Chains A and B, each alone.
Chain A
Amino acid sequence: MLKLRDGIVELYRKVATSLPPDVEESLKAAALREEQGSAAESALKVMIENVRLARDTVRPICQDTGVPVFYLKVPAGLSHNELRLTIDEATRIATERVPLRPNAVDVLTERNSGDNTGIGFPVVYFEETSSGTLTIDLMLKGGGCENVGQTYKLPVPELNAPRDLAGVGRCVVDAVQKAQGKGCPPYVIGVGVGAAKDQVTRLAKEQLMRKLGDVNKTGELAAIEQTLVSEINRLGIGPQGLGGKTTALAVKIGVNHRHPASYFVDVSVSCWATRRGRLIW
């Protein structure tokens, strides 16, 4: 487990200090689309320059290194408890060495634990896999964009959102309209639809792990994802909320079966600095 621990520390370093190539490319393409000399273009150029500087100097892209969220695919027989303890230890080391900003605050005492570990912190999800390899995906999710996420219960009359996929779309565009520039656009948007409130929230966030170019396996959802990107970009919120053509880089939708009475839609928002990475063990 010692080597695995060090592997997770390195995963933290990579995810905190470099942007996935698909996200960086998408920001560069966005900069070319914006009007020359506009606030939108200059904001995107600063973001791209910041990504380069962070990578070259091995410093975190954003001072908010967020809540670490782990998704593990674990071969049968490997102890989940031991993996959890290894992640906690790696988190303490990474906080000091990368460094990460200590973000875990005790709700009762208001004390910051100082090492990014605490009750339910970091967030870790386990899933068993029939494959023989352990896959560890990590996302560092900043607080600003986490705060602008929303959960909806269809129908929503004031949004003219019925209990169907068109209604889902209304919720997504509404969430971005309400977020404005507070969560650092251009955003990546994860959407989860289903029967249970807790389940859709997790499903929505999981969608943020998909590569931006990843096409939804369900054709109907793939089409809606594309339509929603254009609709969001028509809002004109723009990079940093300063106006412009690029408010979202991608929308990714995941669906579960729903209960006849329940139609929950969760919208999880990620900032332009969508930081994710994978360790295969």
Chain B
Amino acid sequence: MVRTVPVSLPMTEDDARGLRAGDLVLLSGNIVTGRDRIHKFLLEQKPSSESLPFPLAGSVLYHCGPIMKETEEGFIVVAAGPTTSMRVEMYEHGVIGGCGIRGVMGKGGMGDLTRQALVERGCVYMHTIGGAAVYLAERITKVLGVWMLEEFGLAEAMWHLEVKDFPAIVTMDAHGNDTHREIEALSLERFREMAGIRQG
């Protein structure tokens, strides 16, 4: 049975460690987006947390390059589903260690380096539904700000967003459980059976 857990942000380390792989979370509070270029920048340039325009401690970093529209009242979110998380695997453990986020959200899961960082730092990885961009955009209630817009463009900038009951599934928890890894191992075993490949 799926456990549904409402989560208000910012999260504490205890909040993050209290979540388990398989939990359906409904996030409410402030999150930030960041994808390929933001991760590369955070790791290579190592900006101090004071120089960042938004507080990242306790927040969730969402792997998302949204479609935004500029109106007279400011930016609105048109569509905002997740992007493939694995592309930032080489950076994420450093980001988790460096800025105190308690959640990473995207799609498809991440690798060994991230899994270790989640356990060490007390953080979770959440998978949200890829391609459900309008459904998810409806759960973003406000655009609070943007950083690196000029440099990286609309899709790759860091957006600071307010969300309400934003749904995601914890697939990698702070205890080393990893739904993606389990499914991958099972599917590999089945493929080997089908293909007549000897195990090991």
Contacts and interface: CB of A to CB of B under 8 A. Distances in A.
Nearest to A55: B134
B132 A99 contact: no
A49 B167 CA distance: 14
Contacts of B171: 242
Contact of A236 (B65, B167, B183): B183
A46 B132 contact: yes
A235 B183 CA distance: 9
Interface of A: 37, 39, 42-43, 46-47, 49-50, 53-54, 57, 59-65, 99-103, 110-112, 114, 142-144, 147, 158-161, 170, 173-174, 177, 180-184, 231, 234-238, 240-243, 271-273
A238 B154 contact: no
Contact of B79 (A63, A143, A170, A238): A63
Contact of A241 (B183, B188, B196): B183
B129 A180 contact: no
A53 B133 CA distance: 10
B40 to A, nearest CB: 10
Interface stretch (B51-59, B80-88, B90-98, B115-123): B80-88
B133 to A, nearest CB: 4
A180 B132 CA distance: 18
A114 B153 contact: yes
Interface in B163-191: 167, 169, 171, 179-180, 183-184, 186-188, 190-191
A161 B200 CA distance: 18
A177 B183 contact: no
B198 to A, nearest CB: 9
A80 to B, nearest CB: 31
A238 B108 CA distance: 12
Contacts of A237: 183, 187
A20 to B, nearest CB: 14
A114 B152 CA distance: 11
B84 A59 contact: no
B131 interface: yes
A53 B169 contact: no
A111 B64 CA distance: 19
B142 interface: no
Contact of B131 (A50, A114, A241): A50
- Considering residues B129, B194, B197, which has the most beta carbons from chain A within 10 angstroms of its beta carbon? B129
Nearest to B135: A50
A170 B191 CA distance: 9
Given A46-B129, A142-B131, 15 more contacts: A46-B135, A64-B81, A101-B65, A102-B153, A114-B153, A143-B84, A147-B87, A160-B197, A174-B191, A184-B130, A231-B194, A234-B194, A236-B183, A236-B186, A241-B180
